[in-house]
Structure 1
């Protein structure tokens, strides 16, 4: 019999559950961000017009202005990409709303 996509032996499935992501696909978006700096949140040591900051080794670093200020995740079920977007763009200042949350509210209203 073939393996299921949610097989508990899958490393990324287990890591997603440990970290709190709804699906392992969150790691795909994190990998793309690490490689291509999709959200513009990575530090840079070049002089490209960003604000000055001090790095961990005491040298001056440049923080680039954020390239992304808003993002829309269409068809967001199960919502792990929305979780990554919320973490990367806003930190703890946002509560990511997903289709799963909206459907839960609708189902609760229908039962009443």
Structure 2
């Protein structure tokens, strides 16, 4: 249970930003960035470069499928629930489903 909550918080930190210390400290933190090895600059990381704070609860709205607009949602608004934003993520989703399916099939055969 703790791992699931921890993983959810970390995923939000990389895609939308997360309000880690709310209600003690009202500030969103965004850890989007890169980690790469350059032949000219050496090891480069941009996850935590200087200021990572993005805003407070009152001034920050992240569009989701459940709540697409910060105002009252009209009835005919399109609700998008992203599954994979890039080809790499799509491959990861398909691979994950395939591995789980194979494990379930193997487990049923062994019983």
TM-score range, shorter chain: under 0.3
- Structure whose CA Rg is larger: 2
Higher helix share: 1
- Normalised by the length of structure 2, the TM-score is 0.28
Greater relative contact order structure (CA < 8 Å, 6+ sep): 1
- Normalised by the length of structure 1, the TM-score is 0.28
